């Protein structure tokens, strides 16, 4: 997403409060997959074969979605999220959005009922960008480094820093695409699921300093004393 009014570029990693951020910077705009909105960088670009709102830093520059001048002068920011929490949230969202009720394993493997939407880059149905490592969206050093990396887990504080930097005196109301889920992501995970996500998103785990927070075991211990 890009805002020329506020001179900022948001590198939108799926399931990191991006919908709320898009709506905040472009109030009243109804974002749709088609037709593509090149002014705000949202929707499916049939020429580049990508969802512009989920373009990586490299894609934004190398495909000409933003100019070198914009990249060098606009404030660039992104948000990251615990990979186990993000993956579980995305799995629930994807079932709701696509109508596909496949297994978590098939979703991670991009196979069976999920194969087409997670592998076929030729149409706007493609959702495989949701399963990229978050670290694929930006670099920590060099040309594709954002100016600010916020954490979903500390969203209110971190988004306030973004708004302060941009001199925006407006309250940010976080809108969550709520889906029916367990109270904490760890309740969904078996040991094998936990390890599989850790392996697929190993770069996120190591480079973003995330770990699996097992509140499930804590709940079991509490129940023993009730």
**Domains of the chain by residue range:** 2-224
Is the CB of residue 143 less than 8 Å from the CB of residue 61?
yes
- With residue 203 as reference, give the H or E element that holds it: helix 202-207
Q: How, if at all, do strands 2-3 and 148-151 pair?
A: unpaired
pLDDT digits (tens, 9 = 90+) for 137-186: 999 999 999 999 999 999 999 999 999 999 999 989 876 555 666 679 99
Quick: pLDDT tens for 75-116: 999 999 999 999 999 999 999 999 999 999 999 999 999 999
Average pLDDT, the chain: 92
Just give the CATH number of 2-224: 3.40.50
Distance CA(12)–CA(159), nearest Å, equals 14
Instruction: Convert the pLDDT of each residue in 201-224 to its tens digit.
Output: 999 999 999 999 998 755 444 343
What end-to-end distance do the CA atoms of the chain give, in Å?
49
Strand order in the sheet with 148-151: 2-3, 8-11, 75-80, 148-151
pLDDT tier, 226 (very low <50, low <70, confident <90, very high otherwise): very low
pLDDT at 127 over 90: yes
pTM, full prediction:
0.91
């Amino acid at each position: 997403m890009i805002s020329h009014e506020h001179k900022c570029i948001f590198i939108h990693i799926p399931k990191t409060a991006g919908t709320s951020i898009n709506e905040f910077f472009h109030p009243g705009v109804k974002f749709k997959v088609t037709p593509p909105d090149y002014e705000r960088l949202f929707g499916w670009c049939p020429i580049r074969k990508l969802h512009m709102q989920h373009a990586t830093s490299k894609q934004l520059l190398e495909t000409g979605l933003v100019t070198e001048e914009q990249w060098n002068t606009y404030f660039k920011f992104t948000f990251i999220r615990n990979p186990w929490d993000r993956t579980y949230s995305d799995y629930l969202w994807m079932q709701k959005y696509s109508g596909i009720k496949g297994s978590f394993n098939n979703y991670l493997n991009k196979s069976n009922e999920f194969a087409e939407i997670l592998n076929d880059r030729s149409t706007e149905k493609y959702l495989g960008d949701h399963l990229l490592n978050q670290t694929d969206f930006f670099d920590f050093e060099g040309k594709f480094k954002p100016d600010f990396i916020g954490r979903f887990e500390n969203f209110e504080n971190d988004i306030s820093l973004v708004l302060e930097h941009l001199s925006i005196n407006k309250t940010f109301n976080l809108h969550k695409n709520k889906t029916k889920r367990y109270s904490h992501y760890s309740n969904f995970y078996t040991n094998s699921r936990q390890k599989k996500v850790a392996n697929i998103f190993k770069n996120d785990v190591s480079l973003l300093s995330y770990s699996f927070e097992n509140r499930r075991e804590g709940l079991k211990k509490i129940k023993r004393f009730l």
